[in-house]
Each structure stands twice: as structure tokens, then as C-alpha cells.
Structure 1
């Protein structure tokens, strides 16, 4: 029988906590007080560490977007795919701020050309910060009648199908946030492969000082500004990806 990692972490946390509590009552009378104290502190630290790991995102579910680096590295040798879906999201904040998605966007690419788009505003269930609203143009009133993420995410996943998902900083921003929203709403996600255009650009365009979307669209003559709207940003990312794919060939 296979034990899930989260369960294993809780078991280890309990074992180390139990050991820390009963360590002072060991039959070993030769140990100094200092050694005993250090041993207790070590077991307490280990108990806290494994309890922290157990509380994090379920390791088994976290791997659902976890193949990006393998795809990107293999792509430099075997060629980047021409059929894929570019995605982008707008949110109430950064990944460490417990954000909620306020817009989902995707652009399906076939043989290097757009063959379909997806755009959906999402009601986050809490106020959109003023800075986010100013940046994106998405205000509380605009999403008041929009579906919740629980209602919108299944159609987004359906649009993406079995495609490789391409995104700029997708591994550290889009994917973790989408995964967290899915877990929060008990939605099972497929095992998507991903390609992150950020590290790809850093590898293929070392002459650039920075590799943000706005830096790349200017360097590649795609545009001058980033819209900060999900579908348009996904489209710009697809154009960035196509240029990177050309450079990698």
C-alpha cells in the first residue's frame, strides 16, 4: 500500500513530537543536560518542519503542472511544439498573498496560427484591490455578475484540452494560482505539460537585460505595452513564443 506524502509528513511530525516530549525520560543517564536539550530542540524542529510540509499544497496534486522544465529543456534539442495553448490570468495579488483569479484567458495555436480564443471574467468573491483595478481595468462592478472560479474553471480546462500550456512565468505564477483555486473548489485538473517562456527567453536572449513580457514584445517588435488583460496577454505570449521557437530552431 502506498502512503501519500502528506500522510507521511504528518506521521513523521507526530513521531518527532512524541520523541521530543519523552526524550528527557530516556534511560540513558550518561547524556549531559546540554546534549539532552539539543536533542529535544532537534526533534521539535523536525516536528515543526514536517507539520509545515504537511500543511502545504498536497504534493501529489502539485505535480499536475510540474513538467515544464523537462519540456523546455527537451525542446531545445527536439524542437518546440507548433500546436499548443497560451494562457494568462489576472488576479487580486501575487501567489504569496492568497490571491483569487479575476480573469482567465487562453489562445489556442495550431501550426503557429491562432485557431481559437477563450476569455472569462471571474467574480473573486472579495474586493479587487485598487492597484489591481487600476492596472487591469477590472473593477468590482465589472465582475459582480460574472461566474465564480468554481463555475468558470471547468470551461477553461475544457478549452485547453490536452494541449501543452505556454505562459510567461507560468511555473511560478499562473500554474500555482490555478492549482490553488482548483484545490480550494475540489476541481480535479488534468496532467498538463507546460512551457515557461520566461526561462526560455533568458536562455535564448541573453543580450536583453530583462525578460518581462513588455521587454520581449518591444525587442521582438510585437508591441509597446502590455495590456494586463488575460486574453490579450496570452496572445502576446504566443507571439513571444513563436519568436523564441524560431530562434531555437
Structure 2
């Protein structure tokens, strides 16, 4: 929703939220533009609706960006501008808590900028950055990219770097990390050592159930069935 005061970042799990992702012409929220926005609406931990739109940025999409997100000038030439698409996203999100990976330092900046630019108001929704949640769950990891988390949990990364595919992947990751936060996954009564690198093993929850995973991940990817 739009208003005068920005929402706050929340480092907790909520069962109802809208998880979103942007694809852009580059990494600068000062100079670059949105070329795709997608979102999934979640109720009680389950996806109940989806939103996805390509966006015409009014400029050439650099090769470096297209190489990552596979979005070309041809794909967006008949798409609406972000000034037209953004209200549709805001209507979809309503006053829900927003969520996404690394949104505090990237995606939210684009939304704040363009809400101010087009409507003269800011985005008031609270938000959850799943990267911050990952830091709570996996403080020993050196990297906590969405792909690393998905691989850790056994979630498919097909279609990665297109916004809607990333949203679906991120939602699954967030729900599993919520279990980590609640302590229902990582409670364990014995210490197990990774035979490959010597780090401790920790109970994790993946697509096919619980397993032992090395706390040295992603440098060490040893796993063991429970």
C-alpha cells in the first residue's frame, strides 16, 4: 500500500505474505529499470495466487542482464511500462507483508524509488528479507544465495533468474527455513561429524524428508540419510 512512511523490515516468519522478485536492466536502483515483476500470494504457508508481468523499460536491455535473466528487447517491446504495471502489483499485494531474497538491499529500493516517482508516495508494507532469515538459520555458511538454499533443501532450480520461477523456489525455501527457526527440524540429541571435512552434521528437511547435512555447506556438500 502507498503512504507517507516506509514499512519496516521484520526478521520473523509469518504464514500469510506476498513473496515477489524483480528482474532489471542492471544492479543500480539509481539508473536501471525493472523489466519483469512476479509475485506469489501465500496463505497459511501455501501459494494461493500468482502475479507476473514483463515490463518495457523504454531502453535497450544490456547483454549482461539478458544473459542472466534471458529477457530480450523483443520480449518486452509490447509490454506495458512499469508506471502501468506497478499499480497492478500493488493491488495484488494489498497490505500484506512482502517477502523476497535480498530485497532489503535490492528489490525494495526499486519499489521505493518508483512509487515515489510515479505516485509521490512510498510503499508502507512491512517486509521480510529471506537472506536475513538464512543468516539466522545458517550462520556458518559463507554464501546464502537462493540457489544454494534451494539445492540444500532439494528444491528444483529450473527456470532460475526468471522472476516467477524464483518466487516459487523462494517460497519453498522460506517455508523450510521457518521450520529451522521454530527448531522443529534442527533439534537433535547426538553429535555427528562429517567424514569428508570434519564439520558437524545437522538435521535438515528436504523434499524427500529429513537428512543429515554438513554445516560446511556449500564448501562441503556431504549428506547422509537418517
TM-score, normalized by length of structure 1? Answer: 0.68
On the 8 A contact 1:108/1:117 being kept in 2, the answer is yes
Aligned to 1:230: 163
Determine the C-alpha separation between the residues in 2 that align with 1:237 and 1:81: 14
Select the structure that is richer in helix: 1
1:113 counterpart residue number = 46
SS in structure 2 at match of 1:107: strand
Cα pair 1:214 1:226 within 8 Å, conserved: no
Aligned to 1:140: 73
Alpha-carbon separation, structure 1, partners of 2:158 and 2:38: 18
Equivalent of 1:130, from 34, 44, 63? 63
Output the TM-score relative to the length of structure 2.
0.75
Show CA shifts across 1:179-198 (max 9, x none): 11222223534410000111
Q: Is the CA contact 2:111–2:123 (under 8 Å) kept in the aligned structure 1?
A: no
1:154 aligns with 2:111: no
Are the structure 2 counterparts of residues 224 and 149 from structure 1 closer, same or farther at C-alpha, using a change threshold of 3 Å? closer
Asked if the contact 2:101/2:130 (under 8 Å) is kept, the reply is yes
**Distance in 1 between the 2:165 and 2:158 partners?**
11
Which whole-Å deviations, capped at 9, do the CAs of 1:70-100 have from their partners, x for residues lacking one? x21xx3xxxx211111000000111355110
- Residue deviations 1:205-248, cap 9 Å, x none? 12322101111111111124661111111111111110111111
User: Which residue among 77, 80, 97 is the counterpart of 1:164?
Assistant: 97
How much is the aligned-residue C-alpha RMSD, in angstroms?
1.7
Q: 4+ residue runs of structure 1 moved beyond 3 angstroms?
A: 187-190
Unaligned 5+ residue runs, structure 1? 1-59
Number of aligned residue pairs: 180
Secondary structure (helix, strand or coil) at the match of 2:106 reads helix
Q: Contact 1:100–1:181 (CA<8 Å) still a contact in 2?
A: no
Q: Look up the SS of the partner of 1:203 in the other structure.
A: helix
5 Å matches for 1:186-201? 186=119, 188-201=121-134
Q: Which segments of 5 or more consecutive residues in structure 2 lack a partner in the other structure? A: 183-226
Encode CA deviations 1:25-55: one digit per residue, 9 max, x unaligned: xxxxxxxxxxxxxxxxxxxxxxxxxxxxxxx
- Structure showing greater radius of gyration is 1
The equivalent of 1:85 in structure 2 is 18
Question: Is contact 2:134–2:177 with CA below 8 Å preserved after alignment?
Answer: yes
Q: Secondary structure at the match of 1:170?
A: coil
Q: Which moved more, 1:178-187 or 1:85-94?
A: 178-187
Structure 2 distance, partners of 1:96, 1:116, is: 28
Q: Secondary structure in 2 aligned to 1:185?
A: helix
Q: Take 2:29 and 2:97, find their aligned partners in 1: how far apart are those partners?
A: 26
